[in-house]
């Protein structure tokens, strides 16, 4: 039996590094398709901050986001889960909005607690210990197994002022940590570059997705993980465990502090509260249905069970969309992503039908129907040019609004047709009126229709704003056609006479490759 | 034996029904309403629940004269249930609000306050506790 080395010398060195934050532990024994092949298990991840160089809110958002990513990993080690929980508690404590002391004052205690948890984690798992020396210019970290007699890893992580970071990813098997270094990818570059890691074959979330940060790509880290983890396929869902539900619960708890961090940047309390509310709602749904599945509530009703799987996926999408909105609203990213326009891989009809299915959990209990009208030849119209993820967001925002503000037992009409060289989508719904004096204001950032905010669910006022930004980025647009009063529809108690509103999306179709430059792009 | 009646007030359809299904499976009769206006009307029309479960952040009552403000409508709703309608049934508040000041305010009228996310089983446990006490 190896003797565990709880090297106090190294511990002392680590304690001297208040700016070093690491998440050293990932555990999984083998790749799923090859039990003999050790799977990537250790990511040595450094977040080196020079005091004064990085603004605190950004820095901590990054860190909390990183913890979120780690928590979402389907780790087998319950210990690790507990460690992350502990780290999360500390992070949540830090951003407690009721704490009136200055951030700077809280920083030291916070870092001290984090450091202690990390030290315990490192020692308890004997996975890696960082030997480090620090000057203001250079930080060197060497990973070891913590097993007495074992050599240090050959790879060394350097951070040098003004030169960035040289660092390494170790692929190895946990039980043979030193001998089984299987693959080693080396990345050299400046601090920001380390976030754009290539996807690994086994899609390890920590590698597959960039972590949240100030760059447009980085900001989507948490969101993608939410999507990826919640949009599991049916088979995976059937093997849902209590542990998985706990993890989703954890991430939901995490949403609030994340948004509090965003608040520090955005300085809009009410907006953040609403956003937190809106993100948590669908995640609460995910937890409720996942728990019910676990408890066998739908065991005798396979159809119902299937429906719940659909619900879970769609609610996770909704939550992810909200998280993305929050990140955008906080100025973490901008709309420069639209430079990455590509042909949409899905057929038009299928695409819209899928979006309608997405709305099922929202509309079912109020008897709201969605009718899709499209010409038979729609799928022959050719591809359309989009950035898939963001196009989805625009369409989802519009359809979600249409259903959300519809009165019970009404029908949302989704009509797709072609006008010249543009594809046109019209969404008509009957419900809460839009004040005719504000046709454009509803598209402004964080602005809601006066009547919508008075009569209906709380919203963040971002859905239509984002939809317009995105669609304009594609060279298209979204607008409100003149609404018509509908006195035949019975409004719910206390609600005003219904109005039939039509929103119209226009965007250019894709042309043959040689004409692609005709498409207006940002 | 008569089933216990629960009035469940929450404007969000995503989350409410997952919780309700669990309560119904445990043999409670649950009356879901998506606004405080409808909830108040139900009470006014003689519906007497054994327990009220209410969200805190909900749409305001569409009436200028209403005392319910646009934020944390649930607190005002709970107050009305206790002070105006003199209901003696317990109230459980569900919320995402973590501000202790708001929570304290809600606790004046509610027997229990649960911060979302919660699992249906946790809710059921609290419902049983509150009803027993």
Give the tens place of pLDDT for each residue, A384-424.
Answer: 666 666 677 788 888 888 988 888 889 999 998 887 777 88
- Residue A40: CA atoms inside 13 Å, Cβ hemisphere, count? 20
Please say if the pLDDT value at position A205 is more than 70.
Answer: no
CB contact under 8 A, B18 and A245: no
- Residues written for chain B: 133
**Residue A436 CB-half CA count within 13 A:** 6
Question: What percentage of chain A carries pLDDT values higher than 70?
Answer: 34
B15 close contact with A: CB closer than 8 A: yes
B residues 43-102 near A, CB within 8 Å?
A: 57-63, 70-71, 96-101
pLDDT surpasses 70 at A314: yes
Q: Which tens digit of pLDDT belongs to each residue from A224-257?
A: 444 444 444 444 445 555 555 555 555 555 454 4
More confident residue, A209 or A63: A63
Distance CA A262, CA A137 (A): 31
The answer to whether B104 contacts chain A (CB < 8 Å) is no
Helices A56-72 and A103-125, interaxial angle, to 10°? 30
> Of the candidates A97, A284, A311, which has its C-beta nearest B99's C-beta?
A97
Tell me what pLDDT residue A241 has.
57
Strand ranges across the sheet with A422-431: A369-373, A411-419, A422-431, A498-508, A477-486
Q: Does A360 touch chain B (CB under 8 A)?
A: no
Residue of A nearest to B116 (CA): A284
Q: Which of B17, B63, B102, B117 to mutate to test the interface with A (most CBs of A within 10 A)?
A: B117
Q: ipTM score of the complex?
A: 0.88
- Give DSSP secondary structure letters for A183-242: EEEEEEE-GGGGG-PPPPTT--HHHHSPPP-SSTTGGGHHHHHHHHHHS--HHHHHT--H
Rounded CA Rg of chain B: 14
CB < 8 Å to A277, chain B? 57, 96
Chain A residues touching B14 at Cβ < 8 A: 281-282, 284-285, 315, 318, 361-362
Q: List chain B residues with CB under 8 Å of A364.
A: 13
For residue B101, is pLDDT > 60? yes
Within 8 A of B102 by CB-CB distance, chain A residues are: none
Adjacent-strand bridge partners of A169: A185
Q: In this complex, is the C-beta atom of A301 within 8 Å of any C-beta atom belonging to chain B?
A: no
**Once rounded to an integer, what is the mean pLDDT over residues A414-441?**
84
pLDDT in the model for residue A456 = 59
| Cβ contacts of B25 on chain A, cutoff 8 Å | 297
The answer to whether A146 touches A5, Cβ cutoff 8 Å, is yes
Question: Which residues in chain A have Cβ-Cβ distances shorter than 8 Å to B38?
Answer: 492-494
Residues of B in contact with A276 (CB under 8 A): 96
User: What pLDDT score does A93 carry?
Assistant: 61
Q: Do A98 and B63 touch (CB under 8 A)?
A: no
Put simply, whether A498 touches B (Cβ < 8 Å) is no
């Amino acid at each position: 039996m190896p003797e565990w080395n709880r090297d106090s010398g190294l511990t002392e060195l680590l304690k001297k590094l208040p700016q070093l934050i690491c998440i050293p532990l990932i555990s999984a024994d083998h790749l799923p398709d090859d039990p003999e092949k050790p799977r990537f298990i250790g990511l040595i991840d450094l977040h080196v901050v020079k005091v004064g160089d990085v603004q605190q809110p950004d820095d901590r958002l990054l860190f909390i986001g990183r913890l979120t990513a780690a928590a979402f990993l389907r780790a087998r080690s319950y210990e690790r889960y507990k460690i992350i929980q502990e780290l999360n508690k500390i992070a949540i404590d830090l951003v407690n909005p009721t704490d009136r002391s200055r951030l700077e004052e809280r920083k030291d205690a916070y870092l001290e607690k984090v450091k202690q948890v990390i030290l315990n984690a490192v020692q308890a798992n004997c996975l890696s210990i960082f030997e480090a020396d620090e000057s203001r210019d250079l930080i060197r970290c060497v990973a070891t197994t913590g097993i007495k007699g074992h050599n240090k890893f050959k790879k060394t992580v350097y951070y040098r002022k003004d030169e960035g970071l040289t660092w390494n990813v170790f692929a190895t098997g946990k039980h043979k940590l030193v001998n089984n270094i299987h693959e080693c990818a080396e990345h050299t570059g400046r601090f920001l570059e380390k976030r754009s890691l290539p996807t690994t074959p086994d899609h390890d979330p920590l590698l597959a997705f960039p972590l949240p940060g100030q760059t447009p790509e980085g900001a989507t880290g948490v969101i993608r993980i939410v999507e990826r983890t919640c949009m599991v396929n049916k088979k995976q869902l059937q093997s849902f465990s209590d542990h998985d539900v706990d993890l989703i619960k954890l991430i939901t708890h995490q949403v609030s502090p994340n948004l509090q961090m965003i608040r520090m940047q955005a300085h809009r309390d009410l907006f953040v509260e609403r956003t937190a509310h809106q993100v948590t709602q669908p995640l609460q749904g995910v937890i409720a249905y996942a728990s019910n599945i676990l408890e066998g509530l739908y065991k005798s009703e396979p159809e119902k069970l299937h429906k719940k799987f659909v619900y879970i996926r769609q609610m996770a999408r909704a939550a992810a969309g909200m998280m993305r909105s929050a990140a955008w609203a906080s100025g973490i990213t901008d709309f420069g992503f639209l430079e990455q326009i590509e042909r949409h891989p899905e057929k038009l009809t299928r695409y819209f039908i899928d979006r309608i299915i997405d709305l099922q959990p929202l509309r079912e209990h109020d008897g709201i129907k969605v009718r899709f009208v499209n010409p038979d030849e729609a799928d022959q119209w050719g591809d359309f040019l989009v950035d898939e993820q963001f196009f989805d967001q625009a369409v989802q925002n519009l359809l979600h609004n249409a259903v959300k503000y519809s009165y019970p037992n009404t029908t949302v009409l989704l009509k797709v047709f072609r006008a010249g060289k543009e594809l046109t989508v019209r969404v008509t719904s009957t419900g809460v009126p839009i004040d005719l004096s504000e046709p454009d204001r509803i598209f402004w950032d964080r602005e809601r229709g006066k009547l919508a905010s008075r009569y209906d669910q709380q919203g963040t006022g971002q859905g239509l704003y984002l939809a317009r930004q995105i669609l304009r980025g594609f060279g298209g647009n979204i607008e409100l056609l003149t609404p018509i009063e509908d006195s035949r529809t019975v409004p719910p108690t206390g609600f005003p006479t219904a109005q039939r509103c039509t929103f119209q999306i226009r965007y250019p179709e894709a042309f043959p490759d040689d004409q692609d430059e005709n498409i207006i792009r940002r | 034996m008569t089933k216990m009646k629960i009035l469940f007030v929450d404007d969000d359809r995503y989350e409410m029904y997952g919780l309700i299904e669990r309560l119904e499976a445990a043999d409670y009769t649950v009356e879901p309403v998506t606004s405080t206006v409808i909830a108040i009307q139900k009470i006014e029309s003689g519906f007497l629940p054994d327990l009220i479960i209410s969200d805190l952040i909900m749409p305001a009552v569409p009436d200028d004269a209403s005392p319910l403000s646009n934020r944390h409508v649930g607190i005002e709703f709970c107050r009305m249930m206790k002070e105006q309608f003199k209901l003696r049934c317990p109230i459980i508040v569900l919320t995402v609000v973590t501000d202790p000041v708001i929570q304290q305010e809600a606790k004046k009228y509610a027997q229990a306050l649960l911060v979302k996310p919660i699992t249906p089983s946790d809710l059921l446990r609290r419902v049983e506790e509150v009803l027993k006490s």
